[in-house]
């Protein structure tokens, strides 16, 4: 099928495991012991490859030809854009974990609404079909399951799709995950993500660093080590590594179907880390989009309404973005998801 542009909206999969003796002390590296060749085989099934990688004491971060992969001792996060076959990674990843003595504890699959839904292969043309494929790939021990489509009244075409499955009714995940999807990027800001004339022959590493600097992405979290990559002739991906915290950005800058995403994992109450509303303000300001959606997943931490309201106040004050819709849903064993939609006040 002829497609007018590249699909920026990502599919995201998160798998969490526990050691068979319920302790990670016997295998502190956990999933990080999976060899690169095995990971590469899984990614080949998904239809993407590793283009850059970095690691620290806490986790491994891979920039992919279509988005990102993060491997922690007991958690894997993989998000892929385009027409990739993300769900084909579930069975082989569970198998690789089992070989390390790790058992699946929870699964979360989520995505926004595609810009080019008819270009997607089966099962991604229907969320019901996606849920069936995920459920068939999971062990019966993950008995607490729920699928939900969170549809904002102001823009029904920008729904948030979530499926979760957990072996426990209470979530064990202390991290809050914030996913930002942005469309209709400011044309001037989007120029930062095109290779400049004369740069076509430069390597993607140096071009990526130039995009990081020109766009202001390096100012979002000054403490993070950034592993970036520039695509040819345009497009950009980066993973940020800050202790045990990750962040990631992906950009499709072409006019008519421009898209940018920002995601990070954090704890709302840790000392020494900035207010999430300020971080989001800087991230969104890089792109100045006309349409913004923010999905915040509270795992082990209780939903905090004040944090939600503070994000809305800061984005309104600093960026002129008005919250048009706020939805909330609770997922057994996987926490609470809050989905906010924003557009400029002038709209």
**Which entry of 68, 89, 110, 237 is annotated as an active-site residue?**
237
Q: Is 81 a catalytic residue?
A: yes
Neighbours of 118 (CB within 10 A): 8
**Which entry of 234, 250, 261, 323 is annotated as an active-site residue?**
250
Transcribe 281-325 into DSSP letters: HHHHHTT--SEEEEEEEESSSPP-HHHHHHHHHHHHHHH-EEEEE
Q: Is 250 a catalytic residue?
A: yes
Strand partners, 229: 237
Q: Is 10 a catalytic residue?
A: yes
**Which entry of 48, 52, 66, 81 is annotated as an active-site residue?**
81
**Which entry of 10, 173, 184, 263 is annotated as an active-site residue?**
10
Which residues touch 150 (CB under 8 Å, ≥6 apart)? Answer: 159, 160, 161, 162, 295, 327, 329, 337, 339
Q: Is 157 a catalytic residue?
A: no
User: Contact, 255 vs 190, CB < 8 A?
Assistant: yes
Strand order in the sheet with 176-183: 225-230, 236-242, 245-252, 259-266, 176-183, 291-298, 335-344, 321-331
**Which entry of 52, 67, 325, 341 is annotated as an active-site residue?**
67
- Tokens representing 33 are 């012991």
Which residue intervals of the chain are DSSP H helices? 36-46, 90-98, 127-137, 187-190, 204-215, 276-285, 305-319
Residues taking part in catalysis: 7, 10, 67, 81, 237, 250
């Amino acid at each position: 099928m002829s497609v007018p542009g590249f699909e920026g909206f990502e599919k995201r999969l998160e798998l969490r495991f526990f050691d068979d003796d319920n302790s990670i002390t016997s295998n502190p590296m956990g999933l990080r012991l999976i060899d690169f060749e095995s990971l590469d085989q899984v990614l080949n099934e998904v239809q993407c490859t590793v283009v850059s990688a970095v690691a620290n004491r806490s986790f491994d971060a891979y920039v992919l030809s279509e988005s990102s992969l993060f491997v922690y001792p007991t958690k894997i996060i993989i998000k892929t854009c385009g027409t990739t076959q993300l769900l084909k990674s579930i069975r082989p990843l569970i198998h690789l974990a089992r070989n390390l003595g790790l058992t699946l504890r929870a699964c979360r699959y989520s995505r926004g609404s595609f810009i080019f839904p008819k270009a997607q292969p089966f099962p991604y043309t229907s969320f019901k079909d996606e849920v069936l494929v995920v459920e068939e790939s999971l062990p019966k021990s993950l008995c607490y399951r729920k699928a939900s489509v969170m549809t904002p009244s102001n823009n029904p075409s920008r729904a948030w799709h979530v499926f979760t499955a957990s072996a426990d009714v209470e979530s064990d995940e202390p991290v809050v995950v914030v996913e930002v999807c942005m469309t209709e990027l400011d044309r001037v800001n989007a120029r930062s993500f095109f290779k400049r004339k004369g740069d076509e022959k430069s390597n993607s590493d140096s071009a990526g660093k130039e995009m990081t600097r020109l766009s202001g992405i390096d100012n979002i979290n000054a403490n993070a080590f950034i592993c970036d990559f520039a695509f040819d002739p345009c497009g950009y991906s980066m993973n940020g590594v800050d202790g045990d915290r990750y962040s990631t950005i992906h950009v499709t800058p072409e006019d008519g179907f421009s898209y940018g995403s920002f995601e990070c994992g954090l704890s709302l109450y840790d000392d020494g880390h900035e207010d999430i509303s300020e971080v989001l303000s800087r991230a969104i300001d890089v792109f100045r989009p006309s349409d913004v959606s923010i999905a915040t997943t509270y795992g082990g931490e209780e939903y905090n309404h004040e944090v939600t309201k503070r994000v809305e106040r800061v984005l309104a004050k600093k960026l002129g973005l008005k919250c048009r819709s706020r939805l909330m849903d609770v997922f057994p064993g996987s926490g609470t998801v809050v989905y906010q939609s924003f557009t400029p006040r002038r709209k």
